[in-house]
């Protein structure tokens, strides 16, 4: 149990450090770091509070607090992954619309240039 808590604490701190480092270097935008930091802080609190883990195990109906921790980690990251799937889908839609608009505008510009060339002889 202690080892699991220690591993969870190291994992949480690593995530927090990695995310903060990435935000500082502008590899992740601040709004996308919120999900990760919130998840990591929840896991850190769990790793530091044994009573909370035992309470969580009772709540989830599992015998071992270690399994409760694993389940929590799994669901937290499932939620974060789903949230990013939504974001990626929206970005893909926006990207496609943008690419189509760029292509159409380029087409109009090219047509206008050719018309101008023809008009100028």
Partner 1 sequence: MSRRLRGGPGSLLILIPCFNEQGAIGHVVRDVHRVLPGVPVMVIDDCSADSTIDVAEQAGASVLPLPHHLGLGGAVQAGYRLAFELGFQYVIRVDGDGQHSAEDIPRVFEVLRRSGVQMVIGSRYVRKQSRNYTNTLRGFGIVVFRTLLRPILGRWVYDPTSGFVGVNREALQVFSRSFPLEYPEIEALVVLQRKQFRFEEVPCEVRPRLAGVSTITAARSIYYILHVLLGVFVNVLKFEGGRRRRETSLYQLRTTLEEEAPEPEEPEQAFQPEPEPERGALS
Interface positions with partner 1 (CB under 8 A)? 96, 99-100, 102-104, 106-107, 110-111, 114-115
Residue 106 CB, shortest distance to partner 1, in Å, is: 8
Residue 53 CB, shortest distance to partner 1, in Å, is: 38
Q: Distance (Å, rounded) from C-alpha 14 to C-alpha 36?
A: 11
Residue 78 CB, shortest distance to partner 1, in Å, is: 20
Nearer to partner 1, 64 or 95 (CB): 95
Nearer to partner 1, 64 or 100 (CB): 100
Nearer to partner 1, 6 or 106 (CB): 106
Q: Distance (Å, rounded) from C-alpha 66 to C-alpha 53?
A: 8
Query: Do residues 12 and 47 touch, judged by C-beta distance below 8 A?
Result: yes
- Scored b (16 or more CB within 10 A) or e, 57-67 reads beeeeeeebbe
Whose CA is closest to 66, among 53, 79, 52?
53
Nearer to partner 1, 7 or 90 (CB): 90
């Amino acid at each position: 149990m202690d080892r699991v808590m220690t591993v969870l604490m190291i994992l949480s701190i690593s995530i927090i450090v990695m995310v903060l480092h990435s935000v500082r270097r502008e590899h992740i935008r601040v709004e996308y770091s919120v999900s990760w930091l919130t998840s990591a802080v929840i896991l850190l609190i769990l790793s530091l509070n044994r009573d909370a883990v035992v309470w969580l195990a009772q709540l989830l109906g599992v015998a071992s607090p270690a399994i409760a921790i694993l389940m929590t980690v799994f669901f937290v990251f499932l939620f974060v992954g789903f949230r990013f799937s939504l974001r990626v889908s929206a970005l893909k839609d926006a990207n496609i619309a943008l690419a189509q608009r760029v292509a159409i505008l380029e087409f109009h510009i090219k047509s206008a240039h050719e018309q101008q060339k023809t008009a100028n002889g």
